[in-house]
Structures are given as C-alpha cells and as structure tokens.
C-alpha cells in the first residue's frame, strides 16, 4: 500500500479538532508557513500514525501535529503561519 | 440551524438503536434515537465509540445519512471484513442496543439548500452516504436546485439506496450510475471507473460554477478531483471527503 492511499483529509479529524479547540474547525482557514497557500482545515491532508499530522495539500509541509498521551494532548504547529476561525462559528 | 450545528464542546451521547435495515450484502442502515440531539446539517458526521470489557476503546467516524429532523439519525455502514468497528455495527447491533456517539461534526463538507445549484455529487461505494443526506435535505426543503449524482458501484447489487435514488430522481435531480466490475444483462449505462469524459458528460460545465462534493476511498476521490480540475473546475469549488483503508 502506498503512502498516498493512507492519506485522509481534515474532515477525518474534525471530531479531534473540535475536542481540542472547542469549536468546529474544518471551516477554519490555515495558511501554510512553507508555501503561503490558504485552505480550510477540511481540505488539508491528514496522515495517521502514532499521532495525527496535518499537511499542506499544495507543498506537503507539516502544518499541525497532534499526539494524545495518557497525560494530555500535545500539539505542534510550527508549520502553520496563521489560523483564522470565522467569528460565526465561535461560541 | 447554524446555531444548532456549531455548538462547541462535543459530548458523548448514548444512542439507542431503533431500526436496522439491510441496504446491500455489505451495507446496513442503522437508525438511532439520540436524546438531546441538537440537529445536524447535510454532510456532517458522527464519531462512534465502542468500549470492550477491558476498557479498550475504538473510535470511527460515520457520515449521517438522514436529513435533519428530530432526535433520530441514520448511519449507513459498510462492513469491512478486517475492520475493528464496522463488523460489530453491521452484524451485532440489534434494535434496543445502545452505543456511544458524538456529533454532529464537521462544517466544510456540507451543503445547504439556500446555497442553491447546480450541485455535482460524485460518490464511490459508501461514499454516497453524506451525498444522500444532501439529496434528502434538498427534497425535504422543497428545493428544485439542479443536483446531479454520479455514483460508482462495483455491481448493480452493490448500489446503496438504489430504489430510493430511483424514486427521488426527477424534478431537478439526476442520478447516473457506473458499474465498475459487473453489469446486469442489457446494461446500457457506464461500466468503467469515473474519468474526465464521464464527468464532462454528466456534470454541469465549469462555467456554470457548480458546487462539487466528492466522497469515497482516497484514490477514488483524488482521481475524480484531479479530473475535475483538468476539465476547468476551480479547485476551491471542489469539496472532498476521503475515507481511508484503515476506516471501519
């Protein structure tokens, strides 16, 4: 099985993202720190392994990494320049 | 509507099985009553959580098949033989059983009738499930928006919602099947994987700026999305939802 066949998209981690951020996040727009492209998180690529990696669908730059452990949830987002959550979806 | 669908914190709810219907040899529709269900939008999904006696938990996401309304939701689940969750849902669940789920989840892969048409829906196998919610939502709202479903299945017997799709066709809804592995005698429809020529024949032209929703296994979704872009559709109008080989 190729790596490509294991690729999912942001919709597949919508529940996890909402658990972390407390609001609907697939419509939030992320801007890639690598190539500068902006996409709704629902449209970014997602790979699952020991954790979850969200990658830019244009340049494959890792945007966000999420790992859940027994003590908490680790979130790394050095590849994400900005994240815009529309005000209508914030409680 | 929007207020109900975007409530922040997700909570696990107990869902009561009220009905189980056979769709195909591999797929069943399970109807749940979910007390406190806040409503949903067409295209959203739920996370289902199973817990065994040892406390081990497995979570999977399933698209909601039913149109919004009340506290009842329907999930159509395809059985994956090596799956961890789907065989339990399709083989073991009975009316009166309870499971845990949370939702509604998602807001990107969603269509509302007030967005109008034209709409092109492209589904592969059980990827039709969230698209069916959109078709049902359209009818429920009395919309006559131009909506076209291009639906790829292995065989005629594998077509999920076959009779209902037939019944709902017309009044602006067009359903086109392609059967990729076997076809019944006398079949005159498509019998190959979805490609650019097929999308060109079935779908609204790019200059009509259709809303496009593509759902299915990852290779299916990416082949369809690439073909649509080559036809001239704008990438940002093509919304995709992939389910991978580890689902189920």
CA distance B100 to B120: 33
Map residue B118 onto helix, strand or coil: coil
CA distance B82 to B61: 16
Handedness of CA B56, B61, B64, B69 (dihedral sign): positive
Of the candidate ranges A9-13, B56-60, B93-97, B178-182, the one whose mean pLDDT is the lowest = B56-60
Map tokens 């593509």 to a residue.
B214
Alpha-carbon Rg for chain B, nearest whole angstrom, is 18
pLDDT tens digits for B91-136? 999 999 999 999 999 999 999 999 998 999 999 999 999 999 999 9
Which residues of chain A are within 8 Å of residue B107 when distances are taken between CB atoms? Answer: 14, 24, 26-27, 42, 89
Distance of CA B107 to the CA centre of its chain: 14
Question: Does the residue A85 lie in any domain?
Answer: no
pLDDT recorded at residue B248: 55
- Asked if A42 lies within 8 A of B7 by C-beta distance, the reply is no
Tell me the C-alpha to C-alpha distance, in Å, between residue B179 and each of A27, A79, B4, B123, B156.
34, 42, 38, 12, 7
pLDDT tens digits for B5-21? 445 578 999 999 999 99
Residue A6 pLDDT grade (very low, low, confident, very high; cuts 50, 70, 90)? confident
pLDDT recorded at residue B241: 97
pLDDT tens digits for B38-52? 999 999 999 999 998
Structure tokens at B169: 């066709």
Q: Chain A within 8 Å of B219 (Cβ-Cβ)?
A: yes
Backbone angles phi, psi at B134, to 5 degrees: -70, -40
B171: left (phi over 0), alpha (psi -120 to 50) or beta: left
**pTM, to two decimals:** 0.94
Contact present, A79 and A64 (Cβ < 8 Å):
yes
pLDDT recorded at residue A3: 60
Strands (E), chain A: 8-9, 29-32, 38-40, 45-48, 52-55, 62-68, 73-76, 80-84
With CA atoms as reference, the chain B residue closest to A47 would be: B244
Handedness of CA A37, B232, B240, A22 (dihedral sign): positive
CA distance B208 to B164: 28
Map residue B225 onto helix, strand or coil: helix
pLDDT recorded at residue B82: 86
**Ranges of each domain in chain B:** 2-105, 113-243
- Provide the ipTM: 0.91
Q: Which fold has domain B113-243?
A: Rossmann fold (3.40.50)
Residues spanned by the domain of A53:
4-79
Question: Residue B245 above 70 pLDDT?
Answer: no
pLDDT tens digits for B185-237? 999 999 999 999 999 999 999 999 999 999 999 999 999 999 999 999 999 99
**Least CB–CB distance from A5: residue in B59, B61, B219:** B219
CA distance B170 to chain A (A): 31
Instruction: Give the pLDDT mean for A55-73.
Output: 95
pLDDT tens digits for A8-62? 999 999 999 999 999 999 999 999 999 999 999 999 999 998 899 999 999 999 9
A3 against B61, higher pLDDT: B61
Question: Residue A4 above 80 pLDDT?
Answer: no
Homologous superfamily, domain B2-105: Translation factors (2.40.30.10)
pLDDT tens digits for B130-177? 999 999 999 999 999 999 999 999 999 999 999 999 999 999 999 999
Which residues of chain A are within 8 Å of residue B2 when distances are taken between CB atoms? Answer: 88
Q: Note the helical H segments in B47-181.
A: 86-87, 128-140, 162-168
The answer for residues whose C-beta is within 8 angstroms of residue B11's C-beta and 6 or more apart is B102
Question: Residue A89 above 70 pLDDT?
Answer: no
Question: Does the residue A23 lie in any domain?
Answer: yes
């Amino acid at each position: 099985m190729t790596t490509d066949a294991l690729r999912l998209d942001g919709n597949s981690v919508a529940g996890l993202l909402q658990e972390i951020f407390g609001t609907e996040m697939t419509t939030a727009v992320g801007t890639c720190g690598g190539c500068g492209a902006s996409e709704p998180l629902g449209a970014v690529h997602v790979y699952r392994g020991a954790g979850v990696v969200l990658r830019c669908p244009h340049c494959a730059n890792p945007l966000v990494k999420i790992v859940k452990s027994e003590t908490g949830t680790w979130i790394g987002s050095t590849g994400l320049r900005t994240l815009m959550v529309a005000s209508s979806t914030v409680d | 509507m929007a207020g109900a669908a975007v409530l922040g914190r997700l909570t696990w709810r107990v869902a009561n099985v009220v009905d189980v219907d056979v769709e195909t040899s591999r797929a069943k529709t399970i109807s749940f009553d979910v007390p406190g269900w806040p409503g949903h939008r067409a295209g959203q999904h739920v996370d289902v959580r199973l817990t065994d006696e040892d406390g081990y938990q497995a979570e999977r996401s399933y698209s909601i098949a039913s149109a919004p309304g009340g506290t009842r939701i329907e999930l159509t689940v395809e059985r994956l033989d090596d799956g961890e969750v789907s065989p339990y849902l399709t083989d073991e669940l009975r009316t009166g059983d309870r499971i845990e789920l949370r939702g509604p989840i998602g807001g990107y892969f969603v269509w509302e009738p007030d967005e109008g048409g034209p709409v092109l829906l492209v589904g592969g196998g059980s990827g039709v499930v969230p698209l069916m919610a959109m078709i049902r939502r359209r009818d429920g709202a009395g919309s006559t928006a131009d909506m076209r479903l291009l639906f790829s299945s292995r065989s005629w017997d594998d077509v999920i919602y076959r009779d209902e799709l037939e019944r709902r066709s017309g009044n602006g809804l067009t359903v086109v099947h392609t059967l990729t592995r076997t076809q019944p005698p006398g079949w005159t429809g498509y019998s190959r994987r979805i490609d650019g020529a097929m999308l060109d024949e079935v779908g609204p032209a790019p200059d009509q700026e259709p809303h496009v929703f593509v759902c299915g296994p990852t290779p299916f979704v990416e082949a369809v999305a690439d073909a649509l872009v080559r036809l001239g559709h704008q990438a940002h109008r093509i919304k995709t939802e992939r389910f991978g080989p580890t689902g189920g």
